[in-house]
Amino acid sequence: MLDRADAKAVQREAFRADVLAGLSQTPKRLPARWLYDDRGSELFEEITRVDDYYPTRTETGILEGNAAAMAGFCGTGAVIIEYGAGAGVKTEILLGALEDPALYVPVDIAGDFLKASAERIESRFPDLTVQPVVADFTDDFDLPEDLPRGARRVGFFPGSTIGNLDADEAADFLKRMRGHVQAGGRAILGTDLKKDVATLVRAYDDSEGVTAEFDRNILKRINRELGGTFPVDRFVHEARWNETASAVEMHLKSLDAQTVEVAGRPFRFAPGETIHTESSRKYSVEGFSRLASACGWAVEAVWTDRGRKFAVLGLVAQA
């Protein structure tokens, strides 16, 4: 495994390559994973607490109301592998319900944020071994070599983050997670469900402006890490519904005709031109089940809220 300094260097070069490639496309776009530096992760945690953003509180309610059933689904002595661990707040609900979990492996791209979250989990569960992994879960990465032999592995992917991946990325992730947990392993995964467009768009353009700050933070990151010259106040956040993709899209719109530089390369923007920064796809349970089946999983359990806004799915890895 790379040490922390080497991992940061590799991550920064990947960030540079993705930004230069994305801004060279027509239309311009940036991979959503780069929204989540340490500041971006902090802002996302703020988003989860605003009134307009229903997914987190809805999913949290599902987890709290079904924690015992989910613990039974995971089994005794499980190894929990969480992808995109973030602050790990929902994880505490699951870990608190499990019987003698063997190990918790949080995976996240934001190293400092991950370290703080892992330390909090260790404090909350002093008998639980925690082995954080700094990695981009949308790319291949190695798990720790010393995972307990014979223990059931359970992937944990809450937060509807699966919706941020396009069809190919979602399939690649499900196959990667299937490889990590191995045949007979399990996963608990959250997904936002299709619903009225007004509710969906409002959730990604909240009235408090936190999502807008979160979206624009990537421009600040580019300026800081890649020598960018983005005038952040000349870009505004927009949320749009894409019916064809069944997704809410986040865009950063240029207010002016302007040229910015990144890593010494110029990029021109027309007035109103946007950078597509994130898509959040919405599934039906049936549609997601078909995707999971094609990637080596069977949906064995479905937990949802009364309004069927959100679903938490229990998956079993097939041989």
Domain boundaries, the chain: 1-219+282-319
Q: Are 19 and 144 in contact (CB under 8 A)?
A: no
Determine if residue 208 is left, alpha or beta; phi over 0 gives left, psi from -120 to 50 gives alpha, anything else beta: alpha
Residue-level pLDDT at 3? 58
Residue-level pLDDT at 171? 97
Q: Amino acid identity, residue 274?
A: T
Dihedral angle sign, alpha carbons of residues 183, 165, 121, 1: positive
Half-sphere exposure of 183 (CA within 13 A, CB side): 2
Q: Which residues of the chain have pLDDT under 50?
A: none
How far apart (Å, rounded) are the C-alpha atoms in residues 263 and 148? 44
Cα separations (Å) of 291 from 119, 137, 181, 253? 35, 19, 18, 33
CATH says 1-219+282-319 is which class? alpha beta
Cα separations (Å) of 319 from 183, 286, 315? 5, 22, 13
Residue-level pLDDT at 295? 98
Cα separations (Å) of 234 from 35, 76, 126? 18, 53, 48
Q: Are 261 and 226 in contact (CB under 8 A)?
A: no
Threshold 0.95, pTM exceeds: no
Q: How much is the mean pLDDT over the chain?
A: 95
Residue-level pLDDT at 67? 98
As given in the structure block, the two tokens for residue 31 are 């991979």
Residue-level pLDDT at 188? 98
Residue-level pLDDT at 89? 80
Cα separations (Å) of 225 from 19, 123, 144, 218? 11, 33, 29, 10
Residue-level pLDDT at 305? 97
How far apart (Å, rounded) are the C-alpha atoms in residues 287 and 186? 19
Residue-level pLDDT at 4? 61
